[in-house]
Amino acid sequence: MIRFHLDEHVHPGIALGLRSHGIDVTTTVEAGLRGAGDRRQVEFARSQHRVIVTHDDDFLKMHAQGVEHAGILYCHQGKYKVGELLQMLMLVHDCDSAQDLQGVLQYL
């Protein structure tokens, strides 16, 4: 089962939408990580086996540098409307497993 962690720039409606479908999700604000560095976000998500959802391309660089993570789902900010991104994340949740995404960078 995939559990998500939303970076601080991801619209808060995404968390509400995922939860309304019974999907486990945390947000940067809820985790007390607002303003924390990206590496701290990765450490938090990895420690809780959560796939990070982000618009921040710094996560792409960390992946390329070999930083360990539980999975990164990257979407360029503004590429999708909130409802479209929500549907994509629900599809990932339904079709992939946490093991499938371990250490994987996936572009949405």
Q: Which domains does the chain show, CATH number per domain?
A: 4-107 (3.40.50)
pLDDT tens digits, one per residue of 43-63:
999 999 999 999 999 999 999
CA distances from 83 to 63, 67, 88 (A): 27, 30, 9
How many other CB atoms are found less than 10 A from the CB of residue 46?
19
Low-confidence ranges of the chain (pLDDT < 50): none
Q: What pLDDT sits at residue 35?
A: 85
Residue 36: the pLDDT is: 87
> Percent of the chain, pLDDT > 70?
100
Q: What is the structure's pLDDT at 39?
A: 93
